[in-house]
């Protein structure tokens, strides 16, 4: 039994229409699904943007907080350094000048030291151990006896002990302990040689001598910058690290003069 051709066409047309309807419904479903996914993605993207904005705000607030904390550290260190220097009328702003010279040398060397704030703390606090040295020795106009010299030379160790428990000082403590070491190992307190001496302390040694030579002392007038350069150059490889001396010698006079002017020494 066969259907009439008209009936077959009708069924076929019904089937095609049904398939067409199903496909349209499927397309509509997919479009709705796509719209849902898109809306979800947009909501997620907005959420992420809010998170990013929150993070940026938190980061900014933390940076401000860190800067404030760093300022407080610096103010505390300066107060301590000033307290030490207040005892000695001759050195004036010695610690500040040495810190500025030291940073200028570190910058010239391209060293990371210049970026490390704890190094400046060390430069400023290098002689904090002198609080334990009696006035009679500290201000003695004549040469020190062996016993007095031994007492005086304990100040780096005493200084490091004083600062031992202060976490934020970091590398500063190494500067305080080793600021009288010499490149050839003849320094104190540990007789470290060459690279054994922390770099910050090697930089400090040059800066300290520069300031000692170019400021008035009870027993002599200040030397010229040119003379100070000669003296430091002559001690390169014995007292001082040659790399540090080389960096120091390449700093123009006007940079050093500006530091002296800003820290109260024009002699
Ligand atoms: Fe010292």
Rg (CA), the chain: 36
pLDDT of residue 176: 96
So what's the pLDDT on residue 212?
92
pLDDT at 22: 85
Residue 82's pLDDT is 84
pLDDT at 227 over 60: yes
Determine the distance separating the centroid of ligand 1 and the alpha carbon of 262, expressed in angstroms. 23
Q: How confident is the model at residue 173 (pLDDT cuts 50, 70, 90)?
A: very high
Look at residue 39 and tell me whether its pLDDT is greater than 80. Answer: yes
Cα 155 to averaged position of ligand 1 atoms, centre (Å)? 7
- Known catalytic residues are 130
| CA of 55 relative to ligand 1 center, distance in Å | 46
Please give the distance, rounded to the nearest whole angstrom, from the Cα atom of residue 104 to the centre of ligand 1: 20
Asked whether residue 12 carries a pLDDT value surpassing 70, the answer given is no
Please report the pLDDT score of residue 161 as a whole number: 95
Of the two residues 13 and 178, the one the predictor is more confident about is: 178
> What pTM, to 2 d.p., does this model score?
0.76
Tallying the residues shown for the chain, one arrives at 267
Fold assignment, 87-262: Hypothetical protein af1432 (1.10.3210)
Give the Å distance between the CA of 127 and the centre of ligand 1: 5
DSSP secondary-structure letter at 194?
Answer: G
Calpha distance 87→90 (Å, rounded): 9
Helices (H), 86-171: 94-109, 117-125, 135-138, 146-152, 155-163
Question: What's 147's DSSP letter?
Answer: H
In which band, very low, low, confident or very high, does the pLDDT at 124 lie, cut at 50, 70 and 90? very high
Ligand 1: distance of its center to the CA of 179 in Å?
6
pLDDT in tens, 142-164: 889 999 999 999 999 999 999 99
């Amino acid at each position: 039994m066969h259907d009439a051709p008209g009936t077959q066409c009708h069924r076929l047309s019904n089937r095609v229409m049904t398939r067409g309807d199903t496909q349209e419904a499927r397309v509509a479903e997919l479009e709705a699904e796509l719209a849902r996914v898109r809306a979800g993605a947009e909501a997620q993207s907005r959420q992420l943007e809010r998170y990013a904005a929150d993070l940026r705000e938190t980061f900014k607030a933390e940076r401000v907080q860190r800067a404030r904390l760093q300022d407080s550290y610096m103010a505390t260190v300066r107060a301590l350094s000033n307290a030490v220097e207040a005892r000695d009328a001759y050195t004036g702003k010695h610690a500040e000048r040495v810190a500025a010279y030291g940073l200028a040398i570190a910058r010239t060397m391209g060293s990371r030291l210049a970026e490390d704030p704890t190094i400046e703390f060390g430069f400023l606090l290098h002689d904090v151990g002198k609080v334990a040295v009696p006035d009679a020795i500290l201000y003695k106009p004549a040469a020190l006896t062996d016993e007095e010299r031994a007492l005086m030379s304990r100040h780096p160790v005493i200084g490091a002990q004083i600062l031992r428990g202060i976490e934020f000082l970091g590398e500063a403590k190494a500067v305080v302990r080793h600021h009288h070491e010499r490149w050839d190992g003849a320094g104190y307190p540990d007789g470290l040689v060459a690279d054994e001496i922390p770099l910050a302390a090697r930089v400090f040694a040059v800066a300290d001598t520069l300031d000692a030579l170019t400021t008035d002392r009870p027993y002599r007038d200040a030397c010229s910058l040119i003379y100070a350069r000669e003296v430091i150059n002559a001690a390169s490889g014995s007292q001082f690290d040659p790399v540090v001396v080389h960096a120091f010698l390449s700093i123009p006079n006007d940079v050093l003069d500006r530091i002296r002017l800003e820290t109260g020494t024009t002699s």
